[in-house]
């Protein structure tokens, strides 16, 4: 039935008049990001739906040069770094990421610019006949919100004539709708415990899902460190005859140290691979984990070989020193200093905690914290609460957000003496936190990308100084 729908004529004569019209229609589709997801498996996460939708518009995904990126932690940053380096080489680059922070159009970018509203509507109109026919068919044939966004992204990249498309997996890898591509390079960043209700209870089980993006003969890079995850990824790579390189083995990161660049936190490192010595680089982002992400990105660039090494080295130095990574230990306000970070599981929260210790040592932490209720809430709290001076629990206006009162009750068990408040309003949470933050304090908004997206419009980015890196 799904295959038949891929050839369905435009019987519905559906046409969208603009972005608002198109997005209102798309919002009616099943959206697993906004609901408790169904049992993980091919019935709910069905690649045939995505393939049928793409076939109806000419299989744009098969006409693109794709870098496919997955992982538990660092996949968004790594994807953005790869795209930035390719752009610095003069390439036209598409970037597909999720979730968005402020606006859904951020998920589909060409050369750093979100898809324009008119282009969004135009791409939806190209798919309209299939979408309407699918919605009139059996329930199992209905594309989901994310599947449709995936197809829209591929179609926009093709229409925009990109040289490369860097595509971040939404969930897992094996059954993710992006896993219809035939990539030139695949990337698996670090693998940890997240989405355990769907992907597995151990690092090894989760790595099976991540390794599902590997393709026969296609070179791959991984930054996985857990022994079980490495074992699974290496076994799958051998089975598919994928040339696999590992950060920490063929790709080395040395001399990692915190620094500043234009008055903002950055990290200095030296990267060398089995192919090239990239030398000293500065990444305009906080945290030693960003040096690992940069090394992973450079491994993918080597697999692509988009230009002579001298040009790649210049482009990498330029891109990494100027990149902006929203909601990644992101200093977005001064007086008081406000950091926004999307850490939402124990692994990413531990990285945030270490980055704050490295770049802002000794400063009292005032937290604005909201977590999705389907995450490892206690694990997240255990990682950050012992280092906080005060915390305001809040929530994003999202159906998966945990109740701030529940977060407070959990916190009282873990840190009974910690000064804490609750409010369901992120704007009010910022006011309370600011009132508790003296000139030495560091206000940190974290726990969820959804919460990060809510506070971004309420804050302004600091003016960058011209201070030299040190």
Task: Reply yes or no on domain 330-458 having CATH 3.90.190.20.
Answer: yes
How many alpha carbons fall within 13 Å on the CB side of residue 254? 12
Q: Quick one: angle between helices 377-384 and 346-359, nearest 10?
A: 10
- Mean of pLDDT over the chain: 90
Torsion of CA 458, 463, 467, 470, to 10 degrees: 10
CA distance 49 to 34: 20
pLDDT of residue 52: 93
**92-122: per-residue pLDDT in tens?**
999 999 989 999 999 999 999 999 999 999 9
Domain ranges of the chain: 2-322, 330-458
pLDDT of residue 200: 61
Render 228-269 in DSSP notation, one character per residue.
HHHHHHHHHHHHHT--EEEBTTTEEEEEEEEEEETTEEEEEE
pLDDT of residue 142: 84
pLDDT of residue 211: 96
pLDDT of residue 12: 46
pTM: 0.91
Residue pair 166/79 in contact by the 8 Å Cβ criterion? yes
pLDDT of residue 284: 95
User: H-helix or E-strand containing 76?
Assistant: helix 75-88
CA distance 429 to 450: 15
**405-457: per-residue pLDDT in tens?**
999 999 999 999 999 999 999 999 999 999 988 889 999 999 999 999 999 98
User: H-helix or E-strand containing 208?
Assistant: helix 203-210
Low-confidence ranges of the chain (pLDDT < 50): 1-12, 465-470
Could you give the angle at the alpha carbon of 102 between the alpha carbons of 98 and 105, nearest 5°?
60
Candidates 311, 271, 262, 324; CA nearest to 294 is 271
pLDDT of residue 289: 92
pLDDT of residue 141: 75
CATH class of 2-322: alpha beta
User: H-helix or E-strand containing 154?
Assistant: helix 145-159
């Amino acid at each position: 039935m799904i295959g038949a729908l891929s050839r369905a004529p435009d019987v519905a004569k559906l046409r969208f008049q603009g972005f608002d019209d198109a997005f209102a229609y798309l919002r009616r589709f099943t959206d697993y990001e906004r609901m408790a997801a169904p049992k993980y498996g091919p019935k709910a996460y069905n690649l045939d739906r995505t393939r049928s939708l793409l076939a109806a518009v000419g299989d744009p995904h098969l006409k693109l040069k794709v870098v496919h990126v997955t992982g538990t932690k660092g996949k968004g940053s790594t994807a953005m770094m790869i795209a930035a380096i390719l752009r610095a080489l003069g390439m036209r680059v598409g970037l597909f990421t999720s979730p968005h922070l402020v606006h859904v159009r951020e998920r589909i970018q060409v050369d750093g610019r979100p898809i324009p509203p008119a282009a969004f509507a135009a791409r939806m109109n190209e798919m309209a006949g299939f979408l309407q026919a699918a919605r009139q068919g059996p329930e199992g044939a209905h594309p989901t919100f994310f599947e449709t966004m995936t197809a829209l992204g591929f179609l926009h990249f093709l229409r925009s004539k990109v040289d490369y498309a860097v595509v971040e997996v939404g969930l897992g890898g094996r059954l993710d709708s992006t896993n219809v591509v035939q990539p030139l390079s695949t990337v698996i960043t670090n693998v940890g415990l997240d989405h355990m209700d769907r992907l597995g209870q151990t690092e090894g089980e989760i790595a099976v899902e991540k390794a599902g993006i590997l393709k026969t003969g296609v070179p791959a890079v991984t930054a996985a460190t857990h022994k079980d995850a490495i074992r699974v990824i290496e076994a799958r790579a051998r089975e598919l005859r994928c040339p696999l390189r590992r950060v920490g083995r063929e790709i080395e990161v040395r001399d990692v140290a915190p620094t500043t660049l234009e008055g903002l936190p950055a990290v200095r490192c030296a990267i060398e691979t089995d192919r090239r010595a990239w030398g000293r680089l500065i990444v305009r982002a906080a945290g030693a984990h960003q040096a690992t992400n940069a090394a992973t990105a450079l491994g993918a660039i080597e697999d692509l070989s988009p230009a002579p090494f001298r040009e790649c080295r210049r482009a990498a130095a330029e891109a990494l020193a100027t990149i902006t990574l929203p909601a990644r230990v992101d200093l977005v306000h001064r007086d008081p200093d406000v950091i926004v970070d999307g850490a939402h599981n124990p692994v990413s929260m531990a990285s945030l905690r270490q980055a704050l210790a490295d770049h802002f040592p000794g400063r009292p932490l005032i937290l604005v914290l909201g977590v999705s209720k389907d995450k490892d809430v206690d694990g997240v709290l255990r990682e950050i609460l012992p280092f906080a001076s005060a915390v305001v629990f809040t929530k994003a206006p999202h159906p998966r957000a945990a109740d701030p009162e529940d977060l407070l009750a959990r916190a009282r068990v873990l840190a009974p003496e910690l000064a804490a408040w609750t409010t369901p309003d992120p704007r009010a949470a910022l006011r309370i936190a600011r009132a508790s933050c003296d000139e030495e304090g560091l206000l940190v908004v974290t726990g969820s990308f959804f919460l990060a997206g809510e506070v971004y419009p309420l804050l302004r980015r600091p003016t960058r100084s011209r201070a030299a890196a040190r």
